[in-house]
A and B are shown apart, each in its own frame.
Chain A
Amino acid sequence: MSENQQSLWQFMIEQSDKLLNQTLQHLGLTFISLFFAVLIGLPLGILIARKQKLSGSVLAFAGILQTIPSIALLGFMIPLLGIGAKPAIVALLIYALLPIIRNTYTGIVGVDPSVREAAKAMGMSAKQILFKVELPLAMPVILAGIRTATVINVGVATLASYIAAGGLGEFIFGGISLNNTNMILAGAIPAAILAIVLDGLLALIQNLNFKKLRKILIVVPVAILILSGLYLLPKAYGNSLTAGFTPEFMGRQDGDLGLKSVYGLKINTIVISDAVMYKAAFEKELDVISGYSTDGRLKAFDLTILKDDKLIFPPYYAAPIVRESSLKKFPELESVLNLLAGKITDAVMTDLNYKTDQLHQSPEKVAKDFLVSQNLFKVSKNSKGGIVRIGSKIFGEQYILAEMYKMLIQGNTNYQVATKTGLGGTKICFDALVNDQIDFYPEYTGTGLLVLLQPNAEFAKKIAHDKNQTYQYVKDEFKKKYQIKWLTPIGFNNSYALMMRRKQSKDLGVYTITDLKQYLDNNK
């Protein structure tokens, strides 16, 4: 534990530049969106307090907005606003809206009617009543709403990194992908502290008496504005092309770190989620992205892979990895899973992915069509045997594979199947397997080596480029360490790849990563 703490501390010191940047961005994002949420929510709250007939529908609408899952909301924003700060701010603002509207409304409606009547009877105009009586008296309630909104925003802002808006989510999600606890904590702890500190500060203000509140109220908007400004600070754009890399890619030796050390690539980089990265490249928000070589979107968005001429991306051959205890429990499982072994090439996988991602066919249909074409499909026996639990990570290819395995098991054995698809990143999926929450899931040799086993860098480098050595090593080590068996690889190699728009690649004459480096060096 103490060792762990120390190394967390070391990690934070080591990454203090990034940490400070991310924290400032996080604060900035939180407060810019809060600022706009107040700008919109406060007048709306006042309006519905005046016209109470509207209150039901406005509050219900703001309530519905708030129930949209954050990731989905961020996803919706991309076609409208692209990636980066704008959509993130709008999404955060939408989440902050409900507590502000609702509390403004409640606060104003809750003002003692005899005070309001006295104000009117003394000859105050409607505007004077609003600004001198209703708003000041509702202020503690409104501040409570702002407080809730702030805490929500600090939390949701961690997701902003999905769409390249920065913030502490870069560490958190990078850490989850990389199975790097220190990295997760380096993002999560400051985010939690921010939430607690801001909550505490606003609680203090909210509980002040009227006399002190009056002075503070001038300070609050100024503070919000200044804090909003923080977001603009860390932006320093350099050269002509912009890269968008996933948080996972950013922290990996066989990712951004390798690009820097082996190729000496210096490109202006923003961190973005895999879910929106391809589209952003297509829409020219990004020029270079870190994709996967079998991704269907490669085909859909007409992207091309830059050749890894210095071989920094290790092979990622997919194979099901299964608990040995499960293989004992389900004796027929291994042979059934191996039915798929060697059956799917890179091109086939890209095509299958294209069908789900772009043609919006269900993974089920795509899986079934493929099995039928390979004469592997058998109608489910609908048996009542033991339940095999299949896991998958949260992207299309894994869904398809999970469906195929499901059909194979149901058609060939007496087992029943439960699928636990969408288990987030590698770490979540793998933890589920180790902790006996699932029986197997498809994993990639490169991931097994570099993310899960993490042997020393020297050794990893040596074997990482040989597909057989890598497979043998992970197979042996998983058996020893985790009692997990790697079955025969499925065939395709879903490795990392740098991609560009095909047209841009041609226009710039950039076909390899070395070409890219040279282009960047020449166009500073």
Chain B
Amino acid sequence: MISVKQISKSFGSTFAVNQVSFEVLEGESLILLGTSGCGKTTTLKMINRLIVPDSGEITIHGKKIYEEKPEILRRNIGYVLQNNGLFPHYTVAENIAIVPKLLNWDNKKITSRINEIIEKLHLPESYLAMFPSELSGGQQQRVGLARALVTDPSILLMDEPFGALDNVTRSSIRKEFKALEELKRKTMVMVTHDIHEAFELADRICLMDKGEIIQIGTPKELLYQPVNKFSEDFLASEKLSLAFKVASLNDIWDFLPASDHETPNIISSTENVWDAMEKLQTQSRLGIKNESGDQKNIDFDQLTAAFSQYQKNPVS
């Protein structure tokens, strides 16, 4: 668990971060969202002491981060950068092995763990002997992720991890990312300026502006209970597509018609409406199963109709 209390940081006369406080629960993913220059990166870097705050206090698992050596702290926190920061003079395998080596793992353990992690991240073994410059941007980003995850740290910090990728690669890698078993248990703080990315990946979003927190809450809270005009305006242009993303099939369950046309394509009712709509682009019907084992089989029109019903009075 990460607890950030009243931290501030200024560079010269600009307040990069001003009196910021938040908590990230065990296994939760918090996303710092905001326009460029609002202080997200600065906030993130204070958590692993790449930047020293002017005031305030940060604790991890109840322990003040300034009580141990920064190297020790950082070796136990995964960190992913926008420009991946891979060592150009190290092979992929050596890049991934950096932190394990710093932690003095033996070679056998390192090798087996590297093989495990690259398989999970869909990186072929043939990449291991290559240098980063021989890989595409998306592949490099995966290696960067593998490097951060190889020691299975309980905390992961990510600064615009998909920022340098083109849109197509970006959304596909994001999907994979979301599905990664390896990440489900992690306490994560991630920085992005991409609203959709935030809504797809966050348990909670921390909306920032000019170094201050505007609102912290779940995606639904941000969408349906904006605390002020800034919050509302920030999401206004994307409001409809975000609504599809924050509504789960459970939310609209009651509005879906019961039907007996069985279909082999079944998804869980915890999925969101957006994903279900995407699936119905390529197939005519979709089966939805909820936790108690009930199943409803629907087509695209039935789905959108149910969603409109729900939108009249969304619960958050």
Q: Which A residues are closer than 8 A to B by beta carbons?
A: 112, 114-115, 117-125, 128, 133, 136-137, 209-211, 213-214
A124, B71: Cβ atoms under 8 Å?
Answer: yes
Residues of A contacting B74 with CB < 8 Å? 120-123
Say which residue of B71, B75, B85, B102 sits within 8 Å of A118 (CB atoms): B85
B71, A125: Cβ atoms under 8 Å?
Answer: yes
A142 CB, min distance to chain B CBs, angstroms: 13
Closest residue on chain A to residue B157 by CB atoms: A121
B83 on the interface (CB 8 Å rule)? yes
Residues of A contacting B70 with CB < 8 Å? 123
Residues of B contacting A125 with CB < 8 Å? 71
B50 on the interface (CB 8 Å rule)? yes
CA distance A121 to B89 in the complex (A): 18
Closest residue on chain B to residue A118 by CB atoms: B85
Say which residue of B82, B86, B99 sits within 8 Å of A123 (CB atoms): B99
Residues of B contacting A133 with CB < 8 Å? 87
CA distance A124 to B74 in the complex (A): 9
CA distance A56 to B131 in the complex (A): 36
Q: B83-95 vs A: 1/0 string, CB under 8 Å? A: 1111111010000
Show 15 A/B contacts (Cβ-Cβ < 8 Å), sorted by A: A112-B83, A112-B85, A114-B83, A114-B84, A115-B85, A118-B81, A118-B87, A119-B85, A121-B81, A122-B99, A122-B147, A123-B74, A124-B102, A137-B87, A210-B131
19 further A-B contacts with Cβ under 8 Å, apart from A137-B88, A210-B88, are: A112-B85, A112-B88, A115-B86, A115-B88, A117-B50, A117-B81, A118-B79, A119-B98, A120-B50, A121-B48, A121-B79, A121-B81, A122-B99, A123-B70, A123-B72, A123-B73, A136-B89, A137-B89, A210-B131
B37 CB, min distance to chain A CBs, angstroms: 18
CA distance A209 to B131 in the complex (A): 10
Residues of B contacting A119 with CB < 8 Å? 85, 87, 98
Closest residue on chain A to residue B147 by CB atoms: A122
CA distance A115 to B75 in the complex (A): 16
CA distance A133 to B94 in the complex (A): 12
CA distance A112 to B89 in the complex (A): 12
By DSSP majority rule, is chain B's interface helix, strand, loop, or mixed?
A: loop
B245 CB, min distance to chain A CBs, angstroms: 31
**Sorted from nearest, which 10 A-B pairs have the closest CB atoms?**
A118-B85, A123-B75, A123-B74, A121-B79, A210-B89, A114-B83, A114-B85, A123-B71, A136-B89, A122-B99
CA distance A115 to B102 in the complex (A): 17
Residues of A contacting B50 with CB < 8 Å? 117, 120-121
A122, B89: Cβ atoms under 8 Å?
Answer: no
Say which residue of A118, A124, A128, A213 sits within 8 Å of B86 (CB atoms): A118
Considering only residues 83-119 of chain B, those with a C-beta below 8 Å from chain A are 83-89, 91, 98-99, 102
A122, B102: Cβ atoms under 8 Å?
Answer: yes
A433 CB, min distance to chain B CBs, angstroms: 60
CA distance A209 to B133 in the complex (A): 11
A268 CB, min distance to chain B CBs, angstroms: 52
Residues of B contacting A213 with CB < 8 Å? 89
B30 CB, min distance to chain A CBs, angstroms: 18
Residues of A contacting B89 with CB < 8 Å? 136-137, 210, 213-214
Closest residue on chain A to residue B85 by CB atoms: A118
A115, B79: Cβ atoms under 8 Å?
Answer: no
CA distance A211 to B71 in the complex (A): 28
A211 CB, min distance to chain B CBs, angstroms: 8
Chain B CB count within 10 A is highest, among A118, A119, A133, A211, for A118
Closest residue on chain B to residue A125 by CB atoms: B71
CA distance A209 to B91 in the complex (A): 12
Chain A CB count within 10 A is highest, among B74, B85, B86, for B85
Residues of B contacting A214 with CB < 8 Å? 89
